[in-house]
Structure formats: structure tokens, C-alpha cells
Structure 1
Amino acid sequence: MKKILSLFGLLFIFGGAQAAMPAPDELVRAVTGEVLEIVRADDAIRNGDPARIAALVDEKVLPHFNFRRMTMLAVGRDWRQASPAQQDRLVEAFRTLLVRTYSNALTQYRDQTIAFRPLRAAATDTTVQVRTEVQQPGAQPIGIDYMLERSDNGWKVFDVVVAGVSLVTNYRGTFAQEIRSGGIDGLIRSLEARNAELASGAAS
């Protein structure tokens, strides 16, 4: 279940900026379908080939996250304590954690489907919520809500709400504990250690 949540909770994959920007739900629907088709057809990805997974993530995912805002939201008020250099390391470490979690979860995809709920947003809105539902045989559907903001480079995801739980809020409590225990540098060390652990697991 955790792997399924990781997969669909981190499936924030949308097309690049266009002259006439499509509605965010249309982007989610079109590009999610494209990526899942790639996963279904690529045995190397399903078998955990790191190079093939990295190529897919680099092409379809990374350009469309607002990792800095996600990190700021996850760190919360302690963000202001961090120096610019520490902020950059936090963003990089959190970005790496999310990407590696997503990459690992890609190998777990099988026959889940995604249903889209009607978009409730005005054309002038700069922040929207795209609501979807992951449907899986023999299990209850899982609600996934994507929070996006409009930018000059297209829509960017800055949070995902899985079964009512915000991704960035969920991390905030853990990050606050790490900061209380070891300061900003302690949080950075913890994230980097976790990333090293995930990288070691992928390599093995």
C-alpha cells in the first residue's frame, strides 16, 4: 500500500509550457496516461533498471516540480533560520528524496487506473486543485489531490494530498523534530543519509 501511495502520490507529471496553456486537469490526464503507457510497455523499468527509470523521470517529471516551494512548505517556519547555502542543500536533498522515492515506486505499477474528478477552478485562478482517484482491483480507491500553481513556465506542482494527508505537511513534523535535535545541518545530514541509503538499495 505504501508503495502504491508513493507511486501515485508522486505522479506529478505534466507537459511543458505552451502558448495556449491547457487546463491543469487536461495536462494531468494526458501526460499521466503517456507515462503509464511507457511503464506498462517497458520491462526494464518494471524490473528496476536505474538508468531507464532515471531517463523517464528526468524527461517527464523533474522540469514540472516547484521543489523550492515544496521544501519551504515542508520545512515551515524554520526555513527562515537557514542560510542561502543551507536552503540550497535542503532543496537538493529533498528533491533527491522525492525523486528516488518516485523512481523506486515506478517499478511497482501494475494495473491501477486513475479516475479524474471535475476541475473546480476559474480561468483566472493561479492556484488550483486537481482531484483524482486511484482505482485498484480488490482494494478501496485512494483519493489523490494535486496542488498546482501557474507560472511563466507552465503549471507546477507544489503539494500532493493523499487520502486527505498533505505530502509537505506530513514531512513537516519529521523535519521539525530533526531541526530541534540537530538544527538545520542536522536535517540536511538526515536527508542526505536517507538518500544514500536509497541509492545503495537501488544499486544492489
Structure 2
Amino acid sequence: MCVSGCAMKWVRASAVSLALLLPVLGHAASGRPRGPADEALAALKAGQARIDALIEREVGKKPPEEWRPKLRKAVNAFIDFAELARRALGSHWQKRSTAEQERFQATMKALIESAYLSRVTERAEYQVEYLGAEGTKNGEVRVKTVLRARDAEIPVEYLLYRKDGRWLVYDIVTDGLSLLENYRTQFNRLIKRKGFEGLIETLERKRAELERLEKEGS
């Protein structure tokens, strides 16, 4: 059975992609944004500048129970986990009740956050080359980068959309692997075998496990 194994794959993909997100975003861009692509890139960089400052100031210097809530809030300011969850559920989304949708989004959001926070102190140093930001036909923006660490080169793309006047990340593509598409594939397989309730139960178990590990590491 792949229930627990698939869940671990989701967590691993989340953690790796979000860990890579930290060093790739440099300092806030100077100058006035010229268009949607520039606005999205500037928002991405500004969000990361706040996270970098928080990590430098508090992680490893203050108790985890003090910096984790702040870091969680800073990450949520420019990564839309709820939108990632909605898109990842694909055609199944419209088939669920409002209560089921909210339960799914809350569980997924907490799961990815916990995976990210469990690895935040394990960041490696990367050199980053920005390959550019470009708008898409549907008004969204794709930011392309290459991360270089030792002998490895890792292409990473960030997909952003505009919501309530803000640019937010809803997918991260690491070395060709889309976080959103990876989730969607796994969700479809599990729903086919276990139904929607089976998916939720699997995610909630993994969420509880990560939260337990997070507390033990405090």
C-alpha cells in the first residue's frame, strides 16, 4: 500500500521545495516595477527579505516557540497554501461541500507549513541566477531561476497569481517537478483507492506526526 509512503512523498516534496525557496529569493529589488512580471518578482523578493531577516535575528538564538509563529506568518504572507491545495485537488474540488473544502485546505496548509518549519534550520548555501520573470496568458507570472550548490545546478520556477492586489506563490517547480502536480497525482490515486475521506485521514495523520516531531524538537 502507498498510503503512508505517498504521504511522505508529499511532505518530502513540500519540504525540499520550500527549503529551496528560502535562499533563492534575494533582497528586495530596487526601482519601480515596470509591469506584472516585475511586480511579482519584487513581491517575492520583499517577502523573502522579511524571512531572511527573521531567520538571521531569531532562529537558533531564541526558543522555537517564539520564532515559529512569526516565521509561519511571514511565509503565509506570500505563499498561498490554500490556493495550492485547491488547485491540487483538481476536479475533485467542486464535488466537495464547503465544509470539506475548508477542512482539506486547513489540513494541507498545516501539513506543508510543518514540513517547511521542520527543515528551516537545515538550509544550505546556494548561489542563485535569475533567468527572468514572465507573464502568462492567464495573467499569472512565472519566475525562473537556477540554484547552484557545490557541484549541483537545480532549476527552480515560481508561479504566482494576483489576489486582492497582492502577488502570491501557488506552485514551485523544482528540477521539473511541480509541487502542485505532484500533489494532484498523489491525491487522485488515493481518492480512487480510499475516497476523499481516506485522503483527508491520511493527511491529518501525517500532519499530527509532523506536529509531534516539531514539538519534540522544541
Q: Kindly tell me: are residues 113 and 38 of structure 1, through their superposed partners in 2, closer, same or farther at Cα, counting changes over 3 Å? A: farther
| Mapped contact 2:147–2:154 kept (Cα < 8 A) | yes
Kindly tell me: are residues 48 and 172 of structure 1, through their superposed partners in 2, closer, same or farther at Cα, counting changes over 3 Å? farther
Structure 2: gaps of 5 or more residues: 1-11
Partner Cα separation in structure 1 for residue 16 and residue 196 of structure 2: 31
Structure 2 CA distance for aligned equivalents of residues 92 and 158 of structure 1: 15
Q: Take 2:134 and 2:78, find their aligned partners in 1: how far apart are those partners? A: 21
Q: Which segment is superposed worse, 84-93 or 170-179? A: 170-179
User: In 2, are the aligned partners of 1:86 and 1:185 still within 8 Å (CA)?
Assistant: no
| Residue 75 of structure 1, CA deviation | 1.3
Matched, 1:71 2:85: yes
Supply the distance in 1 between the matched residues of 2:163 and 2:24 (Cα, whole angstroms).
Answer: 15
Paired amino acid for 1:28:
L
* TM-fit CA distance, 1:130: 1.0
Count the aligned residue pairs: 196
User: For the Cα contact (< 8 Å) 1:40–1:110, is it kept in 2?
Assistant: no
Verify the 8 A CA contact 1:11 1:102 in the aligned structure 2. no
Amino acid paired to 1:129: R
Deviation at 1:41, TM superposition (A): 4.6
Q: Are the counterparts in 2 of residues 12 and 61 from structure 1 also a CA contact under 8 Å?
A: no
Structural mapping, 1:135-154, within 5 Å: 135-136=148-149, 138-154=150-166
CA 170–24 in structure 1, closer or farther in 2 if over 3 Å, else same: same
Partner of 1:89: 103
Question: 1:131: which partner in 2?
Answer: 144
**Structure 2: distance between partners of 1:93 and 1:156:** 20
C-alpha distance in structure 2 between counterparts of 1:150 and 1:175, whole Å: 26
1:56 paired residue number: 71
Is the alpha carbon distance of 1:113 and 1:40 closer, same or farther for their aligned partners in structure 2, counting shifts above 3 Å?
farther
Within the candidate set 21, 27, 43, 1:27 is matched to 43
| Identical positions, percent | 22
TM-score (norm 1): 0.81
Instruction: After TM superposition, give the deviation of residue 140 of structure 1 in Å.
Output: 1.0
Q: In the alignment, which of 165, 182, 198 is matched to residue 186 of structure 1?
A: 198
What aligned pairs does 1:192-203 form with structure 2 within 5 A after superposition? 192-203=204-215
Calculate the aligned-residue CA RMSD, in Å: 3.1
Structure 1 residue 23, shift from structure 2 partner = 1.4
Is the CA contact 2:17–2:174 (under 8 Å) kept in the aligned structure 1? Answer: yes
| 1:116 and 2:126 are equivalent in the alignment | no
- Which stretch shows the higher mean deviation, 22-31 or 176-185? 22-31
